[in-house]
Amino acid sequence: MNSNRPIGVFDSGIGGLTVVHALRRLLPGESLVYLGDTARVPYGTKSHATIERYTLQAGAILQRYDPKLLVIACNTASAHGLPALQAAATCPVLGVIEPGAELAAKVQGPVGVMGTLATVQSGAYETAIRRRMPGAEIHSLACPLLVSLAEEGWLDDPITTEICQRYLKQLPDAVKTIVLGCTHYPVLRPSLDRARPGTTWIDSGDVTARAVDALLENSLGYRTESSAGPLRVLFTDAGTRLKEVGSRFLGESLEAVELVEL
Ligand code: DGL
């Protein structure tokens, strides 16, 4: 097996660039191909069958780049499309929910999970956490407005803080650890911190990057070329603010993007 092959990363849109950011920080030598389905985002309001179908289509595009690993960076697509893509793909496929659940299951006391409506309705985090910690107390919260606020760039803003407070006050005070179960939420950390000070946030991007690292170390192998890992970015639609907003999620300037059709 050639360990210099890229890692394919898929998301419903630009949010998964937060996972790319975490991957590039931890594994700067890896070659990455990112596909964001910007033409059809959001997935978080769609049905199981649609999300599963979209995930399979995105996986098929990324397979063209002969990846050594596929990462579903999107929580919603991980919740609804992971088993189908694992069955269809010719390489291993990792979603963001299992790594997040792994960390959440180690928490003493109740845990909160924030996500899109489709992620929360799937119960995927509860299932994954309780598989590791039966009887865990989990409080899930759909926060549909937060995706738009993140895309608008209102990251550290009184209105965002107020909306976060309104969502988060639905959780019992005893919840001190909350999983950010959506690609868009890590960029909202300033407002989230202000809305619920003293909370430990589990960033699914960071934990997924660590899970990828473990997979490379244990079986798939690291890229051996000495040059910095290239990043290729594919979108299904390139709207006018794509580069500006995408750069915010990526944490670096988003240069060349390519358009693909699913
Ligand atoms: N990428 C999605 C997620 O992580 C958020 C955006 C969407 O609804 O498609 O759940």
Which whole number is the average pLDDT over 189-204? 96
* Ligand 1 geometric centre to CA of 1 (Å): 32
Ligand 1: residues with CB < 6 A are 11-13, 15, 41-44, 74-76, 116, 119, 147, 182-184
The alpha carbons of the chain give a radius of gyration, in whole angstroms, of 17
What the chain holds in terms of domains, given with CATH numbers, is 7-95+206-259 (3.40.50.1860), 98-203 (3.40.50.1860)
Nearest CA to ligand 1 atom 2: 74
Which whole number is the average pLDDT over 93-98? 98
Report the amino acid identity of residue 97. I
* Ligand 1 geometric centre to CA of 44 (Å): 5
Which whole number is the average pLDDT over 192-209? 95
Which whole number is the average pLDDT over 104-115? 97
Q: Is residue 1 pLDDT above 80, yes or no?
A: no
What is the pLDDT, as a whole number, of residue 140? 98
How many angstroms separate the CA atoms of 49 and 178, rounded?
28
What is the pLDDT, as a whole number, of residue 239? 84
Q: Are strands 69-72 and 93-95 parallel, antiparallel or unpaired?
A: parallel
Q: Is residue 256 pLDDT above 90, yes or no?
A: no
| pTM across the whole model | 0.96
What is the pLDDT, as a whole number, of residue 240? 79
Nearest CA to ligand 1 atom 6: 42
* Ligand 1 geometric centre to CA of 116 (Å): 7
Of 48, 10, 18, 22, give the one whose Cα is nearest residue 151.
18
What is the pLDDT, as a whole number, of residue 241? 86
Task: Write down the mean pLDDT value for the chain.
Answer: 96
**Greater model confidence, 151 or 21:** 21
Which whole number is the average pLDDT over 171-179? 98
Extract the tokens encoding 83: 């088993």
Query: How sure is the predictor about 168, in pLDDT bands with cuts at 50, 70 and 90?
Result: very high
Ligand 1 mutation pick, 48, 80, 182, max ligand atoms within 8 A of CB: 182
- Give every CB contact of residue 33 below 8 A, 6+ residues apart in sequence: 6, 7, 8, 9, 62, 65, 67, 232, 234
Alpha helices in 64-216 (DSSP H): 75-88, 97-104, 117-122, 124-132, 145-152, 158-168, 189-195, 204-215
- Give every CB contact of residue 204 below 8 A, 6+ residues apart in sequence: 19, 75, 96, 97, 99, 100, 179, 180, 181, 183
Ligand 1 mutation pick, 55, 80, 183, 249, max ligand atoms within 8 A of CB: 183
Query: How sure is the predictor about 54, in pLDDT bands with cuts at 50, 70 and 90?
Result: very high
- Does residue 164 have an active-site annotation? no
Query: How sure is the predictor about 262, in pLDDT bands with cuts at 50, 70 and 90?
Result: confident
- Does residue 143 have an active-site annotation? no
DSSP letters along 147-182, please?
Answer: HHHHHHT-SS-HHHHHHHHHHHTTS-TT--EEEEES
What is the pLDDT, as a whole number, of residue 204? 86
Angle among Cα 16, 76, 70 to the nearest 5 degrees reads: 55
Of 101, 76, 100, 58, give the one whose Cα is nearest residue 235.
58
How many angstroms separate the CA atoms of 157 and 161, rounded?
6
Q: Is residue 45 pLDDT above 90, yes or no?
A: yes
Q: Which residues pair with 115 in a beta bridge?
A: 142, 181
Of 234, 202, 181, give the one whose Cα is nearest residue 14.
234
**Greater model confidence, 240 or 136:** 136
Instruction: Point out the ligand 1 atom lying closest to the alpha carbon of residue 41.
Output: 9
How many angstroms separate the CA atoms of 166 and 132, rounded?
30
- Which tens digit of pLDDT belongs to each residue from 243-253? 889 999 999 99
